[in-house]
């Protein structure tokens, strides 16, 4: 479905990605883990069209994405829930959701999708006329996911959805991600919370210092010694040297 081939990206003189190749198949959950500053967010932004790759190709169902504007990528069904949620905080919950369905494709079914999203997140229905800035952190993350769902994603990309949230809420969000996948949406997930993410993943990639350094099925990586050492907290000393 998504095919990334030897992508390199840079901010000015600072190169952030080298020769990154990655594949996502239809209706799987693919997880990307790696230490801070490894380039995970850059990769997500590059796929979403907010950042142009310096070289390499990104194909979605065979057509090129890396030459297309971000809003057109959304139109094709690839939607990113960005790091830090990036809600329209001065606007109401409902307005945020409506804006999520701005593309022509999504607008036609906006009311139907809205009912569906509010079913998934009943809390948002209660607070639909409140400003997004008045929501708690967990609610804001749900709104961010809800806004993305309003755009009828075929590939949903989530960048650190659990960041800064309480464990109970994190569990809830992971359950929602799983149910989204069961509705037929393909998921590409970036997570710091590697254990939980790998438990959910069909396959995973490890990104370090801008390069893919490992890949495998979720359960393989979960039991891989190096991964356990580096990302699952079995040997904190080594983990620190990696970041």
CB nearer other proteins, residue 131 or residue 195: 131
Query: What CA–CA distance (Å, rounded) separates 36 from 16?
Result: 12
Using CA atoms, how far apart are residues 223 and 116, in angstroms rounded to an integer? 37
Nearer to other proteins by Cβ, of 20 and 222: the residue is 20
Q: Tell me the closest approach of the beta carbon of residue 37 to other proteins, in angstroms.
A: 17
CA 39 to chain centre: 13
Question: Closest CB to other proteins among 55 and 224?
Answer: 55
| HEC letters along 165-226 | CCHHHHHHHHHHHHHHHHCCCEEEEECCCHHHHHHHCCEEEEEECCEEEEEEEHHHHHCCHH
Q: What order do you get walking across the sheet with 55-60 strand by strand?
A: 14-24, 2-11, 55-60, 63-64
> Of 35 and 82, which CB lies nearer to other proteins in the complex structure?
82
- Least Å distance, CB 142 to other proteins, is 16
Tokens representing 156 are 């949903």
- The residue ranges that bind other proteins (CB under 8 A) are 10-13, 48-50, 52, 54, 69-71, 74-75, 79-80, 82, 86-91, 95, 98-103, 106-107, 147, 151
Q: How far is the CB of 79 from other proteins (least distance, A)?
A: 7
Shortest Å, Cβ 231 to other proteins: 28
Reduce the DSSP state of residue 111 to 3 states and report it: helix
Q: Count how many Cα atoms sit within 13 Å of the Cα of residue 222 in the half-sphere of its side chain.
A: 14
Nearer to other proteins, 128 or 202 (CB): 128
In the bound complex, what is the minimum distance in angstroms from residue 107's beta carbon to other proteins? 8
Identify which of 121, 119, 116 has the alpha carbon closest to the alpha carbon of residue 169: 121
Nearer to other proteins, 35 or 151 (CB): 151
- Cβ of residue 102: shortest distance to other proteins, in angstroms? 4
């Amino acid at each position: 479905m998504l095919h990334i081939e030897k992508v390199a990206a840079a901010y000015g003189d600072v190169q952030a990605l080298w020769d990154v190749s990655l594949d996502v198949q239809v209706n799987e959950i693919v997880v990307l883990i790696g230490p801070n500053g490894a380039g995970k967010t850059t990769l997500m932004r590059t796929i979403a069209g907010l950042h142009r790759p310096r070289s390499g190709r990104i194909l979605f169902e065979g057509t090129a994405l890396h030459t297309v504007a971000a809003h057109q990528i959304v139109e094709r069904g690839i939607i990113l829930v960005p790091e830090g949620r990036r809600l329209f905080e001065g606007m109401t919950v409902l307005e945020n959701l409506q804006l999520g369905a701005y593309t022509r494709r999504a607008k036609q079914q906006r009311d139907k999708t809205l009912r569906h999203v509010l079913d998934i997140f009943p809390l948002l229905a209660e607070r639909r006329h409140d400003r997004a800035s008045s929501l708690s952190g967990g609610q804001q993350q749900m709104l961010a996911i809800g806004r993305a769902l309003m755009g009828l994603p075929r590939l949903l990309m989530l960048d650190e959805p659990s960041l800064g949230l309480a464990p109970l809420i994190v569990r809830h969000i992971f359950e929602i991600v799983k149910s989204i996948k069961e509705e037929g949406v393909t998921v590409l997930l970036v997570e710091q919370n590697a254990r939980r993410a790998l438990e959910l993943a069909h396959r995973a990639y490890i990104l370090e210092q801008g390069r893919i350094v490992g890949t495998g099925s979720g359960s393989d990586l979960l039991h891989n010694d190096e991964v356990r050492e580096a990302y699952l907290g079995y040997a904190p000393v080594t983990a620190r040297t990696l970041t």
